[in-house]
Chains A and B, each alone.
Chain A
Amino acid sequence: MTKPPAITTAEKKTATGSEALLDINSIGISFGGLKAVQNFSLQLPAAGLFGLIGPNGAGKTTIFNLLTGVYEPDSGEIHLASRRLFNCRPHEITAAGIARTFQNIRLFPDLSVLDNVRLAGQLHNRHGLLSTLLRTRGYRFEEHLLQERAFNLLEIFDLQDRAHELASNLSYGHQRKLEIVRALATNPQVLLLDEPAAGLNPQEKKLLALSIQQIRDRFQVAVLLIEHDMPLVMEICEQIIVLDHGMTICRGTPREVQNDERVIAAYLGSGLSDG
């Protein structure tokens, strides 16, 4: 993480060109006899903002788990910036540029807010055991840089005053926010948000919608969003993919999806329009 982020962004642009940044080609996985995800495909362009919706148990989070290496797909391929992600362990995928948040918040409760962010930011650090123990100049420089970056991020999200508190002491809304900050600290090209609005009040949801768009613009990341809050999804997503029972039943712009009969059937008519 020693090189300035500007260069990384430039690289992103050239690497992607016209084709999709994240190219998912008919991946699938089954647990026992249950086909949790079948033939899922998605082309996410650089700085795209796509939504992934569907009833509970449709396989949305499973797709995130497949993308982040928690599960290995039974079939299909995943390419990130034309590089195939194959047989990668989760930390390698994060290093390759896909970061995620969790549906049920998974912060490190006994680490400070700052340390949560620093931990995520340090994944490209090169200094090993010996320089750590001797506190060499290079090591201290790296830690200093890391701290700067972490504070910058916390500042952007207005969490800097909480930097030295334990993550477990934050309010629920702040914890959700910190999850996003932490994922951004890994300097991702693709950000996977798993129900970031869950449990937030309407006011916070409005702010969240705004900040997801800002994140996309400011950090030049592609965002894939799982969310049950339909107004939020419809408002900010460019493209929406609807899943049911592991199958993609519909994809298109918010307007197209809203008027699709299969989608309405999948939700049993339960309020796509009124959320």
Chain B
Amino acid sequence: MTRTPDSRRNNGSASHAEVTASASDSQSGFVGNTLMGLMPFAVGIVLASLLHFVLPHVIPGRAGPYYSRIVTDIGIAIIMAVSLNIVNGMTGQFSIGHAGFMTLGGYMAAFMSYYGSMYLWGSAETHGGFLGTGELLFVMSCISGGLLAAGAGYVVGLPSLRLRGDYLAIVTLGFGEIIRVILQQTGKVIDNAQALKTGGLSQMIPPPVGGALGFDDVPKYTNLFWVYTILTVTLVVAYRLKRSGLGRAMISVREDEIAAQAMGVNIARQKVLAFVIAAFFAGVAGGLFAHERGVILSPKDAGFQRSFDYVIMTVLGGRGSITGVMLAAGLLTALPEFLREFEQYRLIVYALLLIIMMLVRPQGLLGIHEIWDLWPRRRSTSLPSSTVATSATSSPEAR
């Protein structure tokens, strides 16, 4: 690996040859590398199933469902906060309508699984066991909820081509409120499978998802396994994005739009992409939320209050810090459960936290760092930096 930085031409071809060599190195381990690419997902799924099967036995008795509900809520909150952080933290835009995407996706998912169940099995009860046909329908529903939300994310992201951050905030806030208003105008839920099959398409306009009263009786498929599997996907996506060229481009938009453009970044594309990805995961999280036990999906969920919860999590966690936001989301979801008698004061405390945070530590708890950055770096001899550094110091023609 010795190189002399001669002319640029030589440099280019030298590095080219070298890269080809390293590529053929990796060819032998091609299967291994591909597996490595999928590894985090596998680990996540194993952990999720452990959680799913073990947690109910660790906390026995009547408290079990209560705690697994909290753990479920934490998972959903982390999905929401981490995905919002792609827009607010990494790309430096400011969305305060994330709950709008969540609720839109939730309604879509609930619509599909409820009427899908009705159509296929004649009732809206859960169907099949763990990983059974019912859960398959549920996962498909959540994904389509995510896709619909991603479409909405595209539409909301479009004005960001023309608008600066604070105007965009208003557009996203308006988006959430519009979703709320539109959902209130929907029709009554059809609870009769016979009527559904004979009624034809006209009964689907406006969509029969319950109007202002909310969408009741959605089959309760959400469990720890699915929440934490999807959480894993969200985290891997967020992390890989952050460490990739796309993530760099997003961060450059946050840092300095004009310089980013001058370096060839299509800032409009990056902003819309951030919105689409974030909205997708919010939509999927909405699907999980809609199928959670004890939840009645209602248009209110799209409103700004819920969106603010997620904004606070991202602000406290730190700009673009995935682990910081996870921490904040977990804490802010779990703590109120144990401080129920102070419910009145919850939002006052949140508000004060926001203000004090901005005055004292505006970059958030972890700033731009991840939690492991807090410990001194171990891998000081990682590959490219050290080799290049030594080869450069040994070359007389470095400058």
- Establish whether A and B are touching in the complex (CB under 8 Å): yes
Q: Chain B, 260-304, contact with A by CB distance < 8 Å: what is the 0/1 string?
A: 111111110000010001000000000000000000000000000
A125 to B12, CA, bound (A): 16
How far is B249's CA from A110's CA once the two chains are assembled, in angstroms? 13
CA of A146 to CA of B15 in the docked complex: distance in angstroms?
A: 10
Tell me, yes or no, whether B18 is within 8 Å of chain A by CB: yes
Chain A residues near B384: list those with CB within 8 A: 147-148, 151
B259 touches A102 (CB 8 A): yes
CB distance from A113 to the nearest CB of B (A): 11
Is B33 in the interface zone, CB < 8 Å from A?
A: yes
- Are B23 and A157 in contact, CB atoms less than 8 angstroms apart? no
**A148 touching B18, Cβ below 8 Å:** yes
Contact string, A137-160, partner B, CB cutoff 8 A, digits 1/0? Answer: 101111111111101101111101
A168 and chain B: residue at smallest CB distance = B255
Residues of A within 8 A of B277 (CB): 129
Least CB distance from B193 to A in Å reads 39
With most chain B CB atoms within 10 A of its CB, the pick from A132, A136, A211 is A132
Q: How distant is A220 from chain B, measured CB to nearest CB, in Å?
A: 8
| Smallest CB separation, B154 vs chain A (Å) | 13
Q: Is A218 touching B244 in the complex (CB atoms < 8 A)? A: no
A151 B12 Cβ-Cβ under 8 A: no
Those 7 A-B pairs whose CB atoms lie nearest each other, nearest first: A123-B264, A90-B261, A106-B259, A94-B264, A108-B255, A5-B12, A148-B15
Query: Which residue of B11, B37, B273 contacts A129 across the interface (Cβ within 8 Å)?
Result: B273
Q: B251 and A94: CB pair below 8 A?
A: no
Q: Tell whether, in the assembled complex, residue A186 and residue B264 are in contact, meaning their CB atoms are under 8 Å apart.
A: yes
C-alpha gap A106/B263 in the complex (Å): 11
Further contacts, 10 of them, CB under 8 A, given A108-B252, A135-B36: A123-B265, A134-B37, A136-B37, A139-B244, A141-B23, A144-B23, A148-B384, A156-B5, A158-B399, A182-B263
Interface size for B (C-beta < 8 A) is 54
Chain B interface residues toward A at CB < 8 A: 5, 7-9, 11-13, 15-16, 18-19, 22-23, 26, 30, 33-34, 36-38, 236-237, 240-241, 244-246, 248-249, 251-252, 255-256, 258-267, 273, 277, 368, 384-385, 388-389, 391-392, 398-399
List residues of A whose CB falls within 8 A of some B CB: 4-6, 9, 68-70, 89-91, 94-95, 99-100, 102, 106-111, 115, 118-120, 122-123, 125, 127, 129, 132-137, 139-149, 151-152, 154-158, 160-161, 163-164, 182-183, 186, 211, 218-219
Would B263 and A94 count as touching, CB distance under 8 A? yes
Q: Within the complex, which residue of A4, A108, A154, A164 is in contact with B12, where a contact is CB–CB below 8 Å?
A: A4
Quick check: B259 and A107 within 8 Å, CB to CB?
yes
Among B252, B391, B392, which residue has its beta carbon within 8 angstroms of that of A119? Answer: B252
Minimum C-beta distance from B31 to chain A (A): 11
Q: How far is the CB of A197 from chain B (nearest CB, A)?
A: 18
Give bound CA distance, A115 to B30, whole Å: 27
Q: Which residues from B are CB-within-8-Å of A149?
A: 12, 15
A119 to B388 Cα, complex, angstroms: 19
Minimum Cβ distance to chain A for residue B93 (Å): 16
Give the chain A neighbours of B385 by CB distance below 8 A. 151, 160, 163-164
B251 touches A110 (CB 8 A): yes
Partner of B8, one of A5, A142, A151, A158: A5
Give the most central of A89, A155, A161: most B CB within 10 Å. A155
Chain A: minimal CB distance from B74 (Å)? 24
With the chains together, A118 CA to B364 CA distance in Å? 27
Inter-chain contact A133/B388, CB cutoff 8 Å: no
A94 x B261 contact (CB < 8 A):
yes
Interface core residue of A151, A156, A157 (most chain B CB under 10 Å)? A151
- Contact at A218–B8, with CB atoms within 8 Å? yes
Chain B minimum-CB-distance residue to A141: B23
Contacts of B22 in A (CB 8 A): 144
- Given the contacts A122-B249, A129-B273, A145-B19, A99 and B9 also touching, CB distance less than 8 Å: no
Please report the C-alpha to C-alpha distance between residue A155 and residue B16 in the assembled complex, in whole angstroms: 17
Please give, as numbers and ranges, the residues of chain B lying within 8 Å of A135 by CB-CB distance: 36-37, 240
What residues of A have a CB within 8 angstroms of the CB of B9 in the complex?
Answer: 4-6, 9
Q: In the complex the two chains form, what is the Cα distance from A171 to B165 in whole Å?
A: 30
Are A120 and B263 in touch, CB under 8 angstroms? yes
- In the complex, what's the smallest C-beta–C-beta distance from A233 to chain B, in angstroms? 22
A149 to B12, CA, bound (A): 7
CB-CB nearest in chain B for A218 = B8
Contact of A91 among B7, B255, B266 (CB under 8 A): B266
Asked if A91 and B240 sit within 8 Å, CB to CB, the answer is no
Across the interface, name the chain A residue whose C-beta is closest to B22. Answer: A144
A5 to B10, CA, bound (A): 9
Whether A160 contacts B261 by the Cβ 8 Å rule is: no
Residues of chain A with a CB closer than 8 A to B11's CB: 5, 152
Question: How far is B384's CA from A149's CA once the two chains are assembled, in angstroms?
Answer: 11
Residues B248 and A148 in contact, CB atoms below 8 Å apart: no
Find out whether the CB atom of A118 lies under 8 angstroms from the CB atom of B245: yes
Contact A218/B7 with A94-B262, A110-B255, A119-B249 known, Cβ cut-off 8 Å = yes
Most buried by B among A135, A141, A163: A135
Of A9, A70, A125, A183, which one neighbours B245 at CB under 8 angstroms?
Answer: A125
| B37 A6 Cβ-Cβ under 8 A | no
13 contacts between A and B (CB under 8 A): A90-B262, A91-B267, A102-B258, A122-B245, A143-B244, A144-B19, A144-B23, A148-B19, A149-B12, A152-B8, A155-B5, A160-B392, A211-B399
Whole-angstrom CA separation of A140 from B244 in the bound complex: 10
Taken together as a complex, chains A and B put the C-alpha atoms of A94 and B277 apart, in Å, by 26
